[in-house]
Structure 1
């Protein structure tokens, strides 16, 4: 076929007049207007979180900085004024949650990783209320490892081997128990249970051998249904005492899957095309493979092998009527075969070369059945905005074009080829990488420093033309010798806002593509674009005119609103509503209801400790009304797309830092600077629980972590007073019960099977209570679903005797304890040149400095001064930030302390 080169017309940034075609009925006009409406009416937000450390140990503080940006240009967003940050454990339970005020898209805060946390894989999730309309897969979501280093700690590590017979999958788990000094925990009895998809499939007991090892074997007989789970063990530590250790089961087999992705979306007979492939194991991580492609007659067509992260490509031309199979050799030498997608008899082929620094070179091919006077349209879109349009009538089988990369911002561009009837027929993602628009330089006043010596740091931020730039950034200084990490493993402002936040699904080591950029990494990034295959925006919904369903509005502040009704359910107009903060901020406000009975108190400013009393009266000042508050449902916890990053043995993976923190803990104990009681969060004492009458416990009567009977509920006025200090792991704040396992979520109160607000606890009379069943652990709270996230207090009242009437309430008044703003603590950085500083205390900081709200001035300059600690090593400075035009930067700077 004759090859011709066509010149595509270009559509650049839209304006008020924008791009117009002569024919108003042209479908391109409709597509453009639909995209414009989505972009203007439904602006997308992204969130990035910068943390001070890559991983933590129980007892640390996690310091964080949040950046809320618009997706189109990565400019700071002024749409949402509240950022939510959740810490979620590997059982998908929210352990801590922050509501942080955001100013011009910037927010910062901290979390204390208390003793109630166990070691394991946690998720740091961040989002705005507006983002909840568009899918959780685009929230900021990062796996954070949290280890545990305590004198009484038993450490354990697991390794798995797999085999298969028929459809049954056999698993052997080798578990090694050691004490905190690394000695084998031998001859100890271990009880265990095995869960797959929250279903217990096996239980048993064993004894550790002389090396501290225990082998557990089980079989998954429903591999089509049960995929992953955990092994929960209890190892004896003394008389009637034990410690819990659990181990993630990421899969019950090791079978590698290989998927093949034709560049245009399909193979076309007679057209030479490129096919990308990706090899992934059941744990979600890549594997290296090699292989050959054979046709159905056994002829070898192509040899191939992975180039990076289980990915690779090959080029071939499918012959009419032939089918093709890839014969793959895995890392262990075993072989598997995979059929390629069947080639289509007719279609379009889109071939993109992204190796040119200046242009995207695009080739379009069609086979003979589609060449006759067929008009095609090529659209290039970035972040929901069309940046380029090209159109031509096909009279030959091939055509080519070059699109200047200068038309696109740095990031993902989606090329889509549309047929004559304006249906998408081929699509390709590419990543456009320009030279960094911003660069930060950091210099110290000295090349090396001593212990507790002052560091004067100078910072300069410039654009690509070396002009100074005003910017906002966060900066952390850590002792890298104590906290080693690989830059490829980090979640950075570049990898997140330019890559991960725009692609659905897991990306293995995304920052690999942004650290020490090279031609090889650009090639590997192009492989990712061909195999990831799904972006934030879809043409299907756009062409159909389907607009996003908006349920959650952008938050400009905290509001408390609701409706006042008569006992019969009719709205109360012109009712008087007063709100008083009984504890906390001292807020006192009043308002009137509208014709629909609605009222609202807006732009409130209060912290988590604030408790409100809301009182309503009708227009005649009568109190016989009911108040219904508007309650926004909490964000559900769904499966993390980054679950492949879960580490089986967290403590082992951060062992150098654990040893440092263990030594520090011992030193502080010697100096009397930490409490002397040993934290026993994992330790339980087995005891016979008393019988429970009249129980409404869904687990069954008495199946609880603790049972408090009526004989212990005496000599106190309220039930809260009775239980204070009586229930291990439960504390009371402002009359509300909290489990130490989830200090940000009140425990659910259930009275004789009826769910009531947490505040009801302080209203109960102890003499009316038969028993209280305390549910804190996941095994007991799971049956209550989300309501049991903070734990449950099941209160069973006496029967046949006068009871407390829980349906009685004070008319026209309710109490409310909403989540308020998190107020960030000030990071402590000692000043050793000040006479007020206590210089006798050891300085064992591993995070040397954390400054979340730094600014470079109009001259691009910023200055910082701080002191080194008592620990020598290589100190690592990490800064992340942006300017007012969406330019992003990350800077690493290192120096030595001797």
Structure 2
């Protein structure tokens, strides 16, 4: 590719004086492209909204570059679920094989309703802006533990915003005279807290100071079943006016020239609104522009040097505002791009008279340094026109860069290039036109065309009952919109699927390009060698340092062993470096596995401190899709909650699912048992599911003997406490220090003042990843450590995050006799198959059974072939 680009340019450029320089510039751009391959990630979800107790099923597609070939760069994908309060409540690692991975996230019964973010990325992607991570907002309701509907309204007073929150049961009964604790969070900090009581209509009123721009209101109260409930209300500041922004193409308006402008009209909630913009000079109309339904539009206008422009917008809701209009510049450049021609892209560069210097201007079409076309003209007049054949360009967001004779961009503009042959043809055939309930559906897939030499493709299929879905699949993010569009654009894209539904919306895409930030190349940094901070993660790694006992000085050349606690004969060893650094690489192990790391110095002594490196997690930046965030999720998805209740009840009856609320979760706040005042509980002393006091421990010889059978929802195996929800080991915190669960036997019972059990997500979420499996908070009577004076030397126990172990999607088979069959089948996701592979002829097939739901079903097929063609196919069919 590099040689081809430079050869093409050599043929185009005649001036030998500048040929070598521009070749050097393009070679540096190509070096940047080779050293910084763009990795992109997309998750195909089984559906787009969920409720507590369900599982988010997904398949990860990871591609490299704008041509979307399967990526072999990374071997691990990180997938995170981020709460409305911007905390990671679930995080897993899944293996990627040739860019493909499969995973799932189980939503606990105690998850707080709200707008969550599903974020996915590779370690390599962290070298660049997290704006290009896969980041999707999904709505999660809760009818398992919660069962409370909220309706939130807000009015503005002089100093405060007054929030009125109506609380009702699922049956519509108001929660009257309910005591509510509230806390107002702003930018991650608590700025106000207090108590209030709902009135006779179940309405709670809370004041929030206006100085807090985007606060979160956290409510805690008991529902009618006396369960402790947490609600997160994403506060919306009342605003009266819509807004309209003007974007000159290329960045500025140039006086005495034709300019192109893009406009974007948005509502206070961040969503687009149809509008009309009129630009006037005196009483004369310079231009009138109307937007599409998403609030975007464009038009050209001629601006004279001394024109005084005023602009006014009228929105479809009848409101009107005056719009700030950018001033025309007397000196500079502007750009006009025409991407609507079917075969060519035209670009016109306008220059002010003072810049016409007879020097070369270079027209470059590129994507992150990968050059697709170069042309040059001398700046002998105020208008230069360039053209490029679309056949030379890939599908995706590419950039026009106009460089001056010093090879510095004077103006740039992104546009969307589309080639139909980059989309994978997908043909889908059902064996019948319609089906009965619980009937087998047989599906045949055919991808590619007869002329394709290779038709192998990786695909995934999801089938949902549309009667149980509120979301509009036609405009939601999909594999086409993500890999072709969103992966290269910054900011919020409303209804991204719209641009690829039925056909590619070329005109609307051009409006989007005019009004959206894009992923650009920093020309000034070309040639600067910068080692990426984050390497591609091929496998799991455990690393750290060996230090002299009790000192910060390193212990070089120490013998270090990594031993699996599952099999003590299974170990690997290495030597630490002169800097004390050691590393165990090329590891693959499942989540929740513990290891021992032991070390000895060159003399064979274990007088060594071992320091294990903690992986640095990427920061959680503001949600770019904040316009999609909601409050009152339970109320919006009430029908879906009621449907899921019926389905879960059937699964519980068949023993396929645990009951939502175990009896122990009711008896969690006995008043006579008080936690130690100096408790390290981050929720505050006593805020726990269960409290064990010193009095309860007075007759016990050991902690395990005291606690076994007494802690509700906790069992002991080998001296280690396990959370019965998931049968996973719990984290133990002793006087604020995280210790290994198997060290409980070293705690002196007589020194313990209280033990607090945290299992509910309302209490565990504040601990982040440490709280995923629940915690035991132990507080000693003195506040000092209750541990016996024993610290092992040269030995540490670790539990690093491993590879997620996938669950199995439930698929009933109604053509065989099975005692486990459901009496009532009200599934929302009817079928999920992430492992479809089209053979050399482009063919594959699958089958599934319909449920008891009648009406329209939707099937979504997505995938990529070995040539990087991206495909998507949807079909609706009837179940009668």
TM-score, with structure 2 as normaliser: 0.89
The answer on 1:535 being equivalent to 2:526 is: no
CA drift of 1:461 comes to 0.4
Matched with 1:862 is 844
The answer on 1:635 being equivalent to 2:624 is: no
The answer on 1:253 being equivalent to 2:239 is: yes
Distance 1:355 1:682, change over 3 A: farther
Matched with 1:76 is 70
CA deviation string 1:271-290 (max 9, x = no partner): 12111121234432223333
Matched with 1:273 is 259
The answer on 1:286 being equivalent to 2:272 is: yes
CA contact (8 A) 2:183 2:193 kept: yes
Q: Compute the RMSD of aligned alpha carbons.
A: 3.6
Distance 1:608 1:79, change over 3 A: same
CA drift of 1:497 comes to 0.7
The answer on 1:566 being equivalent to 2:548 is: yes
CA contact (8 A) 2:112 2:232 kept: no
Matched with 2:813 is 831
CA contact (8 A) 2:113 2:231 kept: no
Matched with 2:218 is 232
Mapping for residues 454-493 of structure 1, pairs under 5 Å: 454-463=440-449, 469-493=455-479
Matched with 1:588 is 571
Mapping for residues 282-431 of structure 1, pairs under 5 Å: 282-295=268-281, 297=282, 300-330=285-315, 333-431=318-416
CA drift of 1:44 comes to 1.9
Stretch moving more, 588-597 or 408-417 = 588-597
CA contact (8 A) 1:274 1:315 kept: yes
Matched with 2:865 is 883
The answer on 1:624 being equivalent to 2:610 is: no
CA drift of 1:431 comes to 0.6
Matched with 1:7 is none
CA contact (8 A) 2:273 2:293 kept: no
CA drift of 1:642 comes to 1.5
TM-score, with structure 1 as normaliser: 0.88
Match of 1:496 among 472, 482, 485: 482
CA contact (8 A) 1:361 1:400 kept: yes
The answer on 1:205 being equivalent to 2:191 is: no
Distance 1:715 1:643, change over 3 A: farther
User: How far, CA to CA, are the matches of 2:252 and 2:140 in structure 1?
Assistant: 44
Distance 1:189 1:623, change over 3 A: closer
User: How far, CA to CA, are the matches of 2:546 and 2:172 in structure 1?
Assistant: 63
Matched with 1:178 is 168
CA contact (8 A) 1:324 1:339 kept: no
User: How far, CA to CA, are the matches of 2:583 and 2:180 in structure 1?
Assistant: 56
SS in structure 2 of the partner of residue 481 of structure 1: helix
CA drift of 1:859 comes to 0.5
SS in structure 2 of the partner of residue 442 of structure 1: strand
Distance 1:672 1:399, change over 3 A: closer
SS in structure 2 of the partner of residue 579 of structure 1: strand
CA drift of 1:635 comes to 3.1
Match of 2:830 among 848, 853, 858: 848
CA deviation string 1:687-711 (max 9, x = no partner): 4763635555677766767654322
Matched with 2:803 is 821
Matched with 1:609 is 592
The answer on 1:142 being equivalent to 2:136 is: yes
Match of 1:85 among 60, 70, 79: 79
CA drift of 1:59 comes to 1.1
CA deviation string 1:444-481 (max 9, x = no partner): 22222222222222110014957771101111122222
CA contact (8 A) 1:881 1:890 kept: yes
CA contact (8 A) 1:458 1:864 kept: yes
SS in structure 2 of the partner of residue 488 of structure 1: coil
CA contact (8 A) 1:478 1:849 kept: yes
CA contact (8 A) 1:323 1:343 kept: no
Stretch moving more, 100-109 or 362-371 = 362-371
CA contact (8 A) 1:730 1:739 kept: yes
Distance 1:631 1:185, change over 3 A: closer
Distance 1:192 1:783, change over 3 A: closer
Unpaired segments ≥5 residues, structure 2: none
User: How far, CA to CA, are the matches of 1:54 and 1:151 in structure 2?
Assistant: 21
Matched with 2:430 is 444
CA drift of 1:164 comes to 6.7
Stretch moving more, 825-834 or 586-595 = 586-595
CA drift of 1:252 comes to 4.3
CA deviation string 1:129-160 (max 9, x = no partner): 11112122111111111122248712122234
User: How far, CA to CA, are the matches of 1:344 and 1:141 in structure 2?
Assistant: 38
Distance 1:149 1:238, change over 3 A: closer
Stretch moving more, 836-845 or 553-562 = 836-845
CA deviation string 1:770-815 (max 9, x = no partner): 3345677899789888877887765432339995356x42112111
CA contact (8 A) 2:654 2:820 kept: no
User: How far, CA to CA, are the matches of 2:484 and 2:130 in structure 1?
Assistant: 18
The answer on 1:690 being equivalent to 2:674 is: yes
Match of 1:555 among 522, 537, 541: 537
Unpaired segments ≥5 residues, structure 1: 1-10
CA deviation string 1:358-400 (max 9, x = no partner): 1112222223222241421111112441111111002222232
User: How far, CA to CA, are the matches of 1:363 and 1:127 in structure 2?
Assistant: 38
Distance 1:108 1:732, change over 3 A: farther
CA drift of 1:743 comes to 10
Aligned residues: 872
Match of 1:523 among 504, 507, 522: 507
Matched with 1:3 is none
The answer on 1:49 being equivalent to 2:40 is: no
Matched with 2:120 is 126
CA drift of 1:254 comes to 4.4
SS in structure 1 of the partner of residue 254 of structure 2: coil
CA contact (8 A) 2:668 2:688 kept: no
